[in-house]
Structure 1
Amino acid sequence: MNTTPEHNERIAQMTFGSVYPHYVTKVEKKGRTTDELHQVIEWLTGFDEQQLKQFIDEKATFKTVFAKANLNPNAHLIKGVICGYRIEDIENTLTRQVRYLDKLIDELARGRKMEKILRE
């Protein structure tokens, strides 16, 4: 199953700040902390908590966020299915990067150990 151009554009234009509260809710509901969430996001993108807050304040889109990200060299090790898509089969780079983030947050919420999530 591959993504459509419309799907890719919708993800590109979605603001990070509109999704971030859902990330927080998801991990906290499962007993994880926002510090752990920030650790996972920083591992993938290189952005610390202050930079994330700036993106939220600026209403930055995922396109902008990932254009500025310094993606972890081990990000390609993130595999599996998220939102009905097999991550490693997603051709659109931005959509694949956003799904990397979704997968890491999903693993965090499911209680996976941090060492395994961070794929080091």
Structure 2
Amino acid sequence: MFCSLRRGSVMTWLNLSPTALMLLGGVILTLGDLAIKTWIIQQNRPAFWLGMAIYMAGMAVLAHTFRHRNIATASIICVVFNVITLIIATRFLYGETISRQQYLGMGVGVMAIVILEMESS
């Protein structure tokens, strides 16, 4: 069968490394954040529920990485990538400016990910 319904089979089927799963989780959380922002701007209740569902999917991906990485390390990498993608997405979608502090924070976040990934190698 192409894809069975056994526990963890979708993540296995994707055949992604734990790092790629953490980054995917961060992107999914960003999509949830953007849906929530849409709810706030447009007062659109379905966007709220869509955002909550997307958050659940992102957390499911993150939880899967806990099998392969320390829970704190996996969470930090996912959240840092979520923040970086959110800053960039809101710049392009909503025209929000990126401050020097945000650029610095993104750089520090990338350095933190590199350091944490060096530990797992």
TM-score, reference length from structure 2: 0.25
Higher relative contact order (CA 8 A, sep 6+): 1
Structure with the greater alpha carbon radius of gyration: 2
